[in-house]
Amino acid sequence: MYKLGLLYKLAVTLTRQQKRNIILAIDILLIAAAYLLARGVILTDGTAYDGTFPIITDLLALLSAGTIAIILLGLHKIKLNAYQMQGVVESAFVACILFMVGLASALLAGPQGTAAKVFVVTAMTFLIMSVSSRLIMRRVLLYIYDKGNPRLPILIYGAGQTGQQLATALATDDTVEPLAFIDDDRRLQGLLVAGIRVHRPAELNGLIEKHGIGRVVLAMPSVQRNKRNYISRRIARAGCEVHALPSFADLVANSAKDLADTRPVDIDELLGRDGLEEELPGVADTYEGKNILITGAGGSIGSELCRQLLSCKPASLTLLDHSELALFEIDRELRSITEHAQIHAVLGSVTDQPLVEHTMSIHKTDIVLHAAAYKHVPLVQHNAIEGIKNNVLGTKCVADAARAVGVERFILVSTDKAVRPSSVMGASKRFAELLIQDLATRSTSTRFSMVRFGNVLGSSGSVIPLFHEQISRGGPVTLTHSDVTRYFMTIPEAVRLVLLAGSFARGGDVFVLDMGQPVPVKQLARKMIESTGHSVRDKDNPLGDIEIEITGLRPGEKLHEELLIGSDMLTTPHPKIMRAQEKHLSEIEMANALQSLRQAITARNTEQLFQILAQWIETNGQDKIRIVNE
């Protein structure tokens, strides 16, 4: 190790010109060696001339021509760590010059000259020796740098284009050493990429412990933010720093201002409060060793539920989703990061009663997390029949199947839009809540409960991705009303709340997270614009970068959302989680309401559907709601 340290000091103290002179001297020696070796080969072949061979004349010609060619081409100036195909081409060009000069020398010498084949072998031998010597010197030099000056070991998460470019750039760095790739693409696992082996995500902790890795670089710029956040949390739990890397194309192609658009937004600042994810207690005991079904498993909430549940060590996860692509993606991801839990992917709709019941039965489901729903307010408003069919009848199918099979716990994922709803989406979720409350009063084995929260930052269709896209295009940022407010929470907070609801549930509970004060969406838009280095263009700042444009409330959209229907609240084991007591329909009322809904859906009578929703969904058991139909 001491000798390697001396060699390292020697390597770093040599000047650039000294290094060039050393490489030039080695090339000159290789020319002489190649010529003498070629003569030896020819002589052993039995081809020789009587008399004295013009060795000195040939060497003088070859060395002079070779030296001039190397200097003119700058072959000795190419850095060893940058010696690639272009360097090989230039070495081949020098070899050709050696052959032509040697051939000319032989012709001028006449019968006493050296045979032409000697110069053919000389040129080929020099090319091989020149390329090999540089590769060997490069390898030795990297070894000296590696052992003589310990580098920071890192792991690269993502063996795609960005990861490969990073590994290539760091291969000759004297401060950082990439030791392994992690990638969930099974086609890459086990392969060598840029000279580094690609491992499975399940091997992450083992690699960190084996190599003493303290830093992991996420080279996955195209992956969805919630998945990157999940990976970051998993790495952080292993005690490593996490650094996210944008694509090299973005670094090169975009201006400094463009790159500002990719800076992470301070979520706590947008929420107007501190994040609650770390404050919420763990729930592993409730889900450990259980067979769990997640509906809508490919969605924003469903996929995060799957990821967090894996850390609870369940016996199996059954993923149900009607989107083939979404189901494929979450199935592939989960299989790559778990070794203990069985993963079952089921493609189908929650409205398919036989499929849902069969799935629960064959997989012996213990817990159901029902996250499948159509949630985009304007889209559901204009597709009311399908919205009600999926959100109401789909919930009915899953809940009935859970009760029939004897599932232990059923948790419905609901929304603040279900409180005094003015949209079809909100009404459908409130009706789904009423369904679960009704079943909870009649179920003796399954604990039915639900969890209600506000808008989830970063979920598909939420304002954060929408505003970010509009800002990246230069605006304007569209806002439906200047006074609109919403409750916001992060995906991890929402998912932890759902899991806690399952652990606290006694039957018929409505759990609500204390999310602080509602956030003015205009304020959120302004903060997002300013966080990317832009300024807001308005009457006070007419020369600003991006304008906030008011478009008007959409059909069914409320100015302010609420979380509670009544005022009766009960405590739970955690101070940030409340249990609401709310009235619900009787068994007979629910049966009549469902029958009317099915008749309207079968007849595809939207007007009748709206009348039924307004008839049965109440605010506090008194005032009927008004569903906007525009």
Question: pLDDT for 389-404, tens place per residue?
Answer: 999 999 999 999 999 9
What angle do helix axes 225-237 and 491-504 make, rounded to 10 degrees?
70
Q: How confident is the model at residue 550 (pLDDT cuts 50, 70, 90)?
A: confident
Q: How far is CA 497 from the centre of its chain?
A: 23
Q: What is the pLDDT of residue 52?
A: 47
d(CA 164, CA 148) in angstroms, rounded, equals 26
Residue 174 has pLDDT above 90, yes or no: no
Q: Do 372 and 344 form a contact (C-beta atoms < 8 A)?
A: no
d(CA 169, CA 58) in angstroms, rounded, equals 43
Separation in Å, CA 378 to CA 300, 461, 534, 555: 19, 11, 30, 7
Tell me whether residue 417 is one of the annotated catalytic residues: yes
Dihedral-angle region of residue 51 (phi above 0 means left; psi in -120 to 50 means alpha; beta otherwise)? left
Q: What is the pLDDT of residue 630?
A: 46
Q: What is the mean pLDDT of residues 323-340?
A: 88
For the chain, the straight-line distance linking the first and the last C-alpha, in angstroms and rounded, comes to: 79
* CB proximity list for 247: less than 8 A, separation 6 or greater: 161, 162, 221, 222
Q: What is the largest CA-CA distance in the chain?
A: 122
Q: What is the mean pLDDT of residues 427-441?
A: 90
Residue 430 has pLDDT above 60, yes or no: yes
d(CA 534, CA 526) in angstroms, rounded, equals 10
Q: What DSSP character marks residue 205?
A: H
Q: What is the mean pLDDT of residues 408-437?
A: 88
Tokens matching residue 529: 């614009």
Q: What are phi and psi of 409, to 5 degrees?
A: -135, 140
d(CA 203, CA 210) in angstroms, rounded, equals 10
List Cβ<8 Å contacts ≥24 apart for 333-340.
Answer: 333/184, 333/227, 333/303, 333/307, 334/306, 334/307, 334/310, 336/184, 336/186, 336/200, 336/201, 336/202, 337/184, 337/201, 337/202, 337/234, 337/307, 337/310, 338/202, 338/310, 339/202, 340/313
Tokens matching residue 523: 């304020």
For residue range 150-169, list pLDDT tens digits in order. 677 888 998 888 888 888 77
Residue 147 has pLDDT above 90, yes or no: no
Residue 460 has pLDDT above 70, yes or no: no
The catalytic residue among 290, 389, 396, 417 is: 417
d(CA 530, CA 546) in angstroms, rounded, equals 10
For residue range 76-90, list pLDDT tens digits in order. 666 655 556 666 777
Residues in the chain: 630
More confident site: 352 or 518: 352
For residue range 551-604, list pLDDT tens digits in order. 887 766 667 666 555 556 666 767 777 777 777 787 888 899 899 999 999 999
d(CA 468, CA 532) in angstroms, rounded, equals 9
d(CA 218, CA 220) in angstroms, rounded, equals 6
Residue 174: strand, helix, or coil: coil
d(CA 47, CA 4) in angstroms, rounded, equals 47
Q: What is the pLDDT of residue 370?
A: 95
For residue range 175-191, list pLDDT tens digits in order. 778 888 998 888 888 88
More confident site: 307 or 457: 307
The one-letter amino acid at 475: G
Tokens matching residue 244: 């996210």
d(CA 620, CA 568) in angstroms, rounded, equals 11
Q: Do 480 and 561 form a contact (C-beta atoms < 8 A)?
A: no
* CB proximity list for 302: less than 8 A, separation 6 or greater: 294, 295, 296, 319, 321, 330, 369, 371, 372
What structural domains and CATH numbers belong to the chain?
A: 2-148 (no CATH), 152-253 (3.40.50.720), 284-616 (3.40.50.720)
Q: What is the pLDDT of residue 50?
A: 42
Q: Do 380 and 374 form a contact (C-beta atoms < 8 A)?
A: yes
Tokens matching residue 349: 């709709």
Q: What is the pLDDT of residue 137?
A: 76
Listed residue (308, 309, 303, 275) closest to 290, CA to CA: 309
Residue-by-residue DSSP string for 525-584 = HHHHHHHTT--EEBTTBTT-SEEEEE--PPTT--SB--S-SSS-EEE-SSTTEEEE----
For residue range 5-64, list pLDDT tens digits in order. 555 555 556 677 777 788 888 888 888 888 888 877 775 554 444 444 467 777 888 888
Q: What is the pLDDT of residue 622?
A: 38
Listed residue (346, 304, 350) closest to 328, CA to CA: 346
Residue-by-residue DSSP string for 50-116 = SS---HHHHHHHHHHHHHHHHHHHTGGGS-GGG-SHHHHHHHHHHHHHHHHHHHHHHHHHGGGSPPH
Listed residue (123, 134, 14) closest to 85, CA to CA: 134
Q: Do 171 and 163 form a contact (C-beta atoms < 8 A)?
A: no
Q: How confident is the model at residue 149 (pLDDT cuts 50, 70, 90)?
A: low
Q: How confident is the model at residue 146 (pLDDT cuts 50, 70, 90)?
A: low
Q: What is the mean pLDDT of residues 604-611?
A: 89
Listed residue (279, 50, 246, 62) closest to 162, CA to CA: 246
In whole numbers, what is the pLDDT of the chain averaged over residues?
78
Residue-by-residue DSSP string for 427-468 = HHHHHHHHHHHHHHHH-SS-EEEEEEE-EEETSTT-HHHHHH
Reported as type and span, the H/E element at residue 594 is helix 587-603
